[in-house]
């Protein structure tokens, strides 16, 4: 009930429309009751007493009632649909905003398909509750009350007999609702799993085909789809059994009424008009009761979806600006890491890192894979927060400045180039949407991207496909560099920016990176040691600790870990004449 009340509170801004819709529903309920009420004068006055004046009045009254009922029914449908659609659209926006606010650890724990299912399927269930279920609940309740008034007004003794059946429906309605809610929750979880499989296999279709796993993925999808089918049939079964059950109980009540009411008419204690008016109202009464049973099922489905949606909406982001956070000015002196340690869940990743980086300095991080290099640089834009210690920029603890002003100072180019299914221009403009077309062209030229962009079918207006699939790896990376150039952030993070490129593409991208690095504080992570020889300083990280630091030449002279990595990478250089051998650094 608390979840349902919370859903209803979301409609509070639309209260005038809601009240008007309720008035229309009240008129619809009253109109239905009035039709049942007119059965008595129609039978007694027209067919028994042959009253000519009532023969003129009652048909006109019936037409008027149906006209009024139709107008009000249309109005309440439009009003309630507007409220429902608006509430659900607002909730979908809120949910998406809250997802965007979460830290990287949240996305590590929640697969993309699951989150997509929350925004689409779960919110869809809520829409049925807010608009259709609430409408039916109110309209049928008003109709129910009106018809109850008619049957008690016509014959209170028969009404008591009829009302005896209704308490018998409470328990089965509750049980049906509980089962429906459980099935709905399991259905939504399965939808999330199905969406995850779709997202993974479609985005990774090249790997699926390369390893010949099409049949395996089809079987995996079919298994989840079959599970979804069984849950859907279970939901249909629950809904299907509830209506016949209610009809059976209603049939018992009607049978008792026909027997007792017929006896009353035969004995002269009642008139046929009174009895048939009562019976009409009673038959009409069971219809809203049946619909209310189905409404309960719809509400339970919506509550199951709302629980999953509110679970994320109520989630407090791990990374957020402190209450008294200040705006971080543009970096002037440098970055300092003081006794920085980081744990991911129960696994230690970084241990007591102490490091100072001057503004404008280019610092490279090397080490075997899993040593903590990427985690270390991800702490600077607060993708994660340190477990202990502090990171300062110009003396400001980054946890005490606004997240927006901190990240505005940082540009990132990663190995996995993230591009959108949009134009080249819009992908570059993602770095700063306020920049002009001339700024975009200048950034592209500095990234050595302008020439190949102009050779595309529509130049800067060419749609590049999902993740830039219409471009080569080097072209995608240069657009990513142009995006970072446009942002013009004073701090630059290069996370293995050329490791996935061949030698020719790397040469072009390296030139673009050199333009990007000019005048910026740069933190580089590289597989290829050849790309970091000119770094001002090289930091060697092993098992989450800094074990060496210095220039390329000084570290080679130490003959330590860096020299070992260098020799390991280039041991075959004399044999194959290549400088681009790789190892997992």
Q: Do 539 and 528 contact (CB within 8 A), yes or no? A: no
Q: How far is CA 296 from the centre of its chain?
A: 25
Q: Output 299 or 497, whichever has higher pLDDT.
A: 299
pLDDT at 359: 92
Residue 290 has pLDDT above 60, yes or no: yes
**Does residue 356 come out as left (phi exceeding 0), alpha (psi in the -120 to 50 range) or beta?**
beta
Which neighbouring-strand residues pair with 356?
Answer: 336
pLDDT: which is higher, 482 or 175:
482
Highest mean pLDDT of the ranges 105-109, 120-124, 554-558: 554-558
Share of the chain above pLDDT 90, in %: 20
pLDDT over 50 at 573, yes or no: no
pLDDT at 329: 92
Read off the pLDDT of residues 334-357 as tens digits, 9 standing for 90 and up.
999 999 999 987 889 999 999 999
Q: Which token pair is 55? A: 């023969």
Query: Cβ neighbours of residue 524 under 8 Å, at least 6 residues apart?
Result: 362, 363, 364, 365, 494, 497, 531, 532, 535
The predicted-structure confidence for 51-98, as pLDDT tens digits, reads as follows 778 888 888 888 898 899 899 989 988 888 888 888 888 888 888 888
Domains recognised in the chain with CATH numbers: 2-313 (1.20.1560.10)
Q: How far apart are CA 317 and CA 402, in angstroms?
A: 14
Pick the closest to residue 352 from 103, 521, 524, 541 (CA basis).
Answer: 541
Most confident of 279-293, 365-379, 485-499: 365-379
Where residue 253 falls among pLDDT bands split at 50, 70, 90? low
Q: What is the pLDDT of residue 540?
A: 93
Contact, 246 vs 169, CB < 8 A? yes
pLDDT of residue 355: 93
pLDDT for res 191: 77
CA-based nearest residue to 528, from 551, 496, 505, 554: 496
Task: Identify the pLDDT of residue 104.
Answer: 80
The stretch 378-404 carries a mean pLDDT of 93
* pLDDT tier, 298 (very low <50, low <70, confident <90, very high otherwise): confident
- pLDDT(410) > 80: yes
Among 86-95, 149-158, 503-512, 520-529, the minimum mean pLDDT is found in 503-512
The confidence band for 545, taking pLDDT boundaries of 50, 70 and 90, is very high
Is the pLDDT confidence value at 571 over 60?
A: yes
Highest-confidence segment of 218-222, 366-370, 453-457? 453-457
Q: Which carries the bigger pLDDT value, residue 253 or residue 62?
A: 62
The DSSP annotation for 183-243 comes to HHHHHHHHHHHHHHHHHHHHHTHHHHHHTT-HHHHHHHHHHHHHHHHHHHHHHHHHHHHHH
Which of 1-5, 170-174, 216-220 has the lowest average pLDDT?
170-174
Q: Which of 515, 512, 538 is nearest to 525 (CA)?
A: 538
Q: Position of tokens 């050849």?
A: 530
Straight-line distance from the first to the last Cα atom of the chain, in angstroms, rounded to the nearest whole number: 55
Give rounded-to-5 percent helix, strand, coil for the chain: 65, 10, 25
Q: How confident is the model at residue 578 (pLDDT cuts 50, 70, 90)?
A: very low
CB 27 within 8 A of CB 68: yes
Average pLDDT (390-419) is: 89
pLDDT above 70 (res 585)? no
- Mean pLDDT taken over the chain: 81
| Per-residue pLDDT tens over the stretch 366-390 | 988 888 888 999 999 998 899 999 9
Element (DSSP H or E) covering residue 156: helix 156-163
pLDDT of residue 173: 64
> By CB neighbour count within 10 A (0-12 exposed, 13-18 middle, 19+ buried), where does 438 fall?
exposed
Question: Largest alpha-carbon pair distance within the chain?
Answer: 120
What is the phi/psi pair of residue 351, to 5°? -135, 115
Q: Of 155, 95, 99, 159, give the one whose Cα is nearest residue 124.
A: 95
Q: What is the mean pLDDT of residues 454-465?
A: 91
The three state secondary structure string of 58-97 is HHHHHHHHHHHHHHHHHHHHHHHHHHHHHHHHHHHHHHHH
pLDDT digits (tens, 9 = 90+) for 8-28: 777 788 889 989 998 999 998
Q: Which of 124-133, 212-221, 454-463, 468-477 has the lowest mean pLDDT?
A: 124-133
What is the pLDDT, as a whole number, of residue 358?
93
CA angle 490, 491, 493 (to 5 degrees): 145
Share of the chain above pLDDT 70, in %: 88
Q: Are 142 and 29 in contact (CB under 8 A)?
A: yes
pLDDT at 174: 64
pLDDT of 576 > 60? The answer is no
Q: Which residues contact 83 (CB under 8 A, 6 or more apart)?
A: 11, 14, 17, 18, 21, 130, 131
- pLDDT number for residue 243: 65
**Rounded CA gap, 173 and 296, in Å?**
8
CA distances from 448 to 439, 454, 513 (A): 14, 12, 9
Task: Specify the pLDDT at position 247.
Answer: 66
pLDDT band at 455 (very low <50, low <70, confident <90, very high): very high
Q: Does pLDDT of 577 surpass 60?
A: no
- Buried/exposed 272-287: b ≥16 CB within 10 Å, e otherwise: bbbbbbbbbbbebbbb
């Amino acid at each position: 009930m608390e979840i349902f009340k919370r859903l209803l509170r979301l409609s509070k801004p639309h209260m005038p429309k809601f009240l008007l819709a309720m008035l229309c529903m009240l008129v619809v309920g009253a109109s239905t009751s009035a039709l049942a009420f007119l059965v008595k004068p129609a039978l007694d006055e027209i067919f028994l007493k042959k009253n000519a004046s009532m023969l003129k009045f009652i048909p006109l009254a019936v037409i008027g009632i149906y006209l009024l009922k139709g107008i009000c029914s249309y109005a309440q449908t439009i009003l309630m649909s507007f409220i429902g659609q608006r509430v659900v659209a607002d909730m979908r926006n809120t949910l998406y905003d809250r997802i965007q606010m979460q830290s990287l650890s949240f996305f590590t724990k929640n697969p993309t398909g699951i989150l997509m299912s929350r925004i689409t399927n779960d919110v869809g269930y809520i829409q049925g509750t807010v608009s259709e279920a609430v409408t039916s609940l109110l309209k049928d309740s008003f109709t129910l009350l009106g018809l109850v008034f008619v049957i008690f007004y016509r014959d209170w003794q028969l009404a008591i007999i009829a009302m005896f059946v209704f308490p018998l429906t409470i328990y089965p309605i509750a049980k049906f609702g509980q089962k429906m809610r459980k099935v709905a929750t399991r259905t939504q979880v399965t939808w999330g799993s199905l969406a995850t499989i779709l997202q993974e296999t479609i985005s990774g279709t090249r790997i699926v085909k390369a390893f010949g796993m099409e049949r395996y993925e089809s079987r995996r999808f079919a298994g989840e789809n079959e599970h979804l089918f069984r849950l859907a049939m279970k939901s249909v079964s629950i809904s299907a059994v509830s209506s016949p059950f209610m009809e059976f109980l209603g049939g018992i009540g009607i049978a008792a009424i026909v027997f007792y009411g017929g006896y009353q008419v035969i004995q002269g204690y009642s008139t046929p008009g009174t009895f048939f008016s009562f019976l009409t109202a009673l038959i009409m009464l069971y219809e809203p009761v049946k619909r209310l049973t189905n409404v309960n099922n719809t509400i339970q489905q919506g509550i199951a979806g709302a629980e999953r949606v509110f679970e994320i909406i109520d989630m407090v982001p791990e990374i957020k600006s402190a209450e008294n956070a200040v705006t971080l000015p543009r970096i002037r002196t440098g970055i300092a890491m003081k006794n920085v340690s980081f744990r991911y869940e129960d696994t230690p990743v970084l241990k007591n890192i102490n490091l100072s980086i001057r503004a404008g300095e280019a610092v490279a991080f090397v080490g075997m894979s899993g040593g903590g290099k990427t985690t270390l640089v991800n702490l600077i834009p607060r993708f994660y927060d340190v477990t202990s210690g502090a990171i300062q920029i110009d003396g400001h603890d980054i946890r005490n400045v606004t997240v927006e002003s901190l990240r505005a100072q940082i540009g990132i180019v990663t190995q996995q180039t993230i591009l959108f299914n949009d134009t080249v221009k819009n992908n570059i403009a993602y770095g700063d949407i306020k920049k002009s077309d001339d700024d975009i062209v200048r950034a592209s030229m500095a990234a050595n991207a302008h020439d190949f962009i102009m050779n595309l079918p529509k130049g800067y207006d060419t749609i590049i496909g999902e993740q830039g699939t219409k471009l080569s790896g080097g072209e995608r990376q240069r657009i990513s560099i142009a995006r970072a150039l446009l942002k013009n952030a004073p701090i630059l993070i290069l996370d293995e920016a050329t490791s996935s490129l061949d030698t020719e593409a790397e040469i072009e991208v390296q030139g673009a990176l050199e333009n990007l690095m000019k005048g910026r504080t740069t933190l580089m992570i590289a597989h290829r040691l050849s790309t970091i020889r000119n770094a001002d300083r090289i930091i060697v990280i092993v098992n989450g600790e800094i074990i060496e630091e210095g220039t390329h030449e000084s570290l080679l002279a130490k003959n330590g870990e860096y020299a070992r990595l260098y020799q390991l990478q280039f041991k075959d250089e004399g044999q194959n004449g290549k400088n681009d051998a790789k190892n997992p650094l």
